[in-house]
Amino acid sequence: MRTSWKRSRYSAVWGSTTHTSSLDDAHRLRTLRIPSSAHFKLHDLEFDDIEMSDEETVRACLRMFLDLDFVERFHIDYGVLCRWLLSVKKNYRNVAYHNWRHAFNVAQMMFAILTLECLALIIGCLCHDLDHRGTNNSFQIKASSPLAQLYSTSTMEHHHFDQCLMILSSPGNQILANLSSEDYEKVVKVLEDAILSTDLAVYFSSERSVSVTGASGPVSAMSASWSSCGERRGLLRAMLMTACDLAAITKPWPVERRVAALVAGEFFRQGDLERQNLNLTPIDIMNRDKEDQLPAMQVKFIDTICVCGAITRATAVVGPREEQSSALDRAE
């Protein structure tokens, strides 16, 4: 077996196996026509999935794999790909924000930004929040959850990556089965780095790496000070993962507002859990009693993390946006 993940340790902790999708569902999906990327507007930076059914989101994912030529290039069995996508979707929980729709939107943003980027990043986007419980790393630590006992840093991100490998190696879901060992190892390494980089604590250290160069723009900053091309590409991939993860704030205001409400709902639910189960006073952004301060806290988040950070740096790499003003409009 090529994977190095620790199935026995995992099973011992949860006493369960991954829930893979049914063969019947995969067979059904396999027979469906897959509309073009233009039909789904998959190249659109202002993409909105609100009108799409769950089935359409999966068909749109198949379109991304087909248009990126992944199926041909990496000899991915189409039926296995159908099943894998359904399994990934199934392993997202019905939480307000960190659900399948979030993963799908992150993958679409990566697809829209990178015309010829690699298989691992799209898989990474689709899997980057697998089995999210609607509570963050700090909650896992405070609650001494089994996950926190396994991983003391980037707790949830390690779990998302482990879940990702578990699905990839589950019978009938092995979309990477026909890659050479060398290519497989490369994909898994990029996947691991990409998923772990979605921890904002890791993002801040990447952001520092860019800032310490002293260069003004993202491209010049990235070209100047790193010793190897591989390192620069890794840093760029990490920044892009965060940019796609937080990209909802670059969407038109109605979309952005809707997503912000979902995030706030999930945060408040964590705050409630902290109060009820851990007897703690939640931080302001998770404190339902401070709901009236939410707009100001959101603007601060956008100014400090999104506008000054990943979004502007990464989107500057792929070309300036006509307007990145939706967040700023709101602040005015």
Number of residues binding to Zn ion, judged by CB under 5 A = 2
Cβ-based nearer residue to Zn ion, 74 or 203:
203
Burial 104-116 (b: 16+ CB within 10 A, else e): bbbbbbbbbbbee
- Is 102 a known ligand-binding residue? yes
**128 labeled binding residue:** yes
The reply, when asked if residue 101 is annotated as ligand binding, is yes
Asked if residue 131 binds Zn ion (CB under 5 A), the reply is: no
In angstroms, give the least distance from the CB of 246 to Zn ion: 8
Check whether 129 is labelled as a binding-site residue. Answer: yes
Q: Which two tokens stand for residue 52?
A: 């799409």
Burial, 172: exposed, middle or buried (Cβ in 10 Å; 0-12, 13-18, 19+)?
A: middle
| DSSP 8-state secondary structure symbol assigned to residue 20 | P
Q: Which two tokens stand for residue 103?
A: 């993963």
Question: Is 199 near Zn ion (CB under 5 A)?
Answer: no
Q: Could you give the CA distance from residue 249 to residue 251 in angstroms, rounded to a whole number?
A: 6
Amino acid at position 115, single letter:
T
129 is a contact residue toward Zn ion (CB under 5 A): yes
- Tell me whether residue 245 is annotated as binding: yes
Q: Please choose, from the candidates 193, 217, 216, the residue with its C-alpha nearest in 3D space to the C-alpha of residue 206.
A: 193
Q: Which of 245, 256, 266, 274 binds Zn ion (CB under 5 A)?
A: 245
Judged by CB, which is closer to Zn ion: 129, or 193? Answer: 129
98 is catalytic: yes
**Burial (Cβ within 10 Å: 0-12, 13-18, ≥19) of residue 119:** buried
- Closer to Zn ion at the Cβ: 129 or 256? 129
Judged by CB, which is closer to Zn ion: 29, or 88? 88
Return binding residues.
98-102, 128-129, 245, 298
Q: Which residues bind Zn ion (CB under 5 A)?
A: 129, 245
- Residues with a catalytic annotation lie at 98
Return binding residues for Zn(2+).
102, 128-129, 245
